[in-house]
Amino acid sequence: MPAELVLERLTKIFRARGKPVVAVDHVDLEVGKGELLTLLGPSGCGKTTTLRMVGGFEIPTEGEVYLGEQRITHLPPQRRPTATVFQSYGLFPHMTVFENVAFGLKVRRLPRAEIRRRVQEVLQLVGLGGLEDRPPGKLSGGQQQRVALARVLVIRPQVLLFDEPLSNLDAKLRVETREHIRRIQKELGITSLYVTHDQAEAMAISDRIVVMNQGRIQQVGTPQEIYLRPANAFVADFIGRANFLTAKVVGKTATETEVELISGLRLRIPYSFDFSLGETVKVVVRPEAVDLLPPSEGELVGTVMLAQLTGSLAHYRVLLDSQEVLEVEVLGALEKGLLPSGTPVGLRFHLKNLHLLPA
């Protein structure tokens, strides 16, 4: 897909107590037309600062921002074809839903009939038809966020920016609202840059994810690529949960890499990694990529150290004979029953879901 938003060597340096602090460090990125790309990372990783530079609320120390062929690096926010949905809804409490959504169009001096038509259209789009006359204070948090979304959609921006828009909502409303956002974004085909620190949120709504840490991009890929083939230990550990087992490469073919764990168990992982024979590596094991079995049926044996029931999942911490610890998640815990601490267990790996990283 053709790139609509391009960031070149984008850098932002702040000064704190007289010392330079690099918030964003030479970020190169392209967002395709109609794509929803998410910037994901912990607090302080540079994702929000990057978004603010795209929106014009921060001026880069170095680098450029392009929309198509247009260089917009130093344009003020009101002159950019972008619109931002902020973490705080920023609704006017003394105005109705209709008046809040119509505000940007009135500033642009559109005809009254055009304003009414566009506001009605966008309220139907976000599922708020019939609530035009309500004040924001009479709406739920999810409805207020959709009013904020409608207010930026009605001005028809070329690129939509989301600055952690769901962080003020409870867990259930977050899921419902992100589904609304994704549906609307796909329906309109509007290019979107989305910032969040919530891994599940990013996995659920993104075409691609950009994982950031300390101002730098760690990996760019689809949610599946990021989860199954993390580029480094930071990405593996930040996206979901991950176990890291020490191993040595003992064999390679065009389609498999064979490794030997500390316990002596050999695993033939069906993927050819760029490692040398004898090299020490880390095997990335997701908690759901392990089966718990009777000790006699497992490839490895261990002892349950911790058992927790979290709804449909049972979460276990298992101490292996090698003294390494594995986090394991088992579906259908209510039916199978929860294994108490001290229970000996066998473990078997789902080889297709294992991944290797440098030690």
Cα dist from 287 to 104, 128, 131, 232, 264, whole Å: 48, 41, 45, 18, 21
Q: If you ran DSSP here, which 8-state letter would residue 357 be given? A: E
Domains of the chain and CATH, by start = 3-237 (3.40.50.300), 241-358 (2.40.50.100)
Query: Which has the closest alpha carbon to 279: 323, 235, 247, 233?
Result: 247
Tokens of 215: 């101002």
How many CA atoms lie within 13 Å of 333's alpha carbon, on the beta-carbon side?
17
What confidence tens digit (pLDDT) does each residue in 286-304 have? Answer: 999 999 999 999 999 999 9
What confidence tens digit (pLDDT) does each residue in 194-211 have? Answer: 999 999 999 999 999 999
Query: Which has the closest alpha carbon to 215: 80, 20, 34?
Result: 20
Amino acid at 221: G
Report CA dihedral (148, 151, 152, 156) to the nearest 10 degrees.
150
Give pLDDT, residue 172.
Answer: 85
3 state SS of 63: strand
Cα dist from 348 to 11, 187, 232, 268, 326, whole Å: 46, 43, 24, 13, 12
Q: Which residues contact 109 (CB under 8 A, 6 or more apart)?
A: none
The reported pTM is 0.90
149 pLDDT more than 80: yes
Give pLDDT, residue 332.
Answer: 75
Give pLDDT, residue 226.
Answer: 96
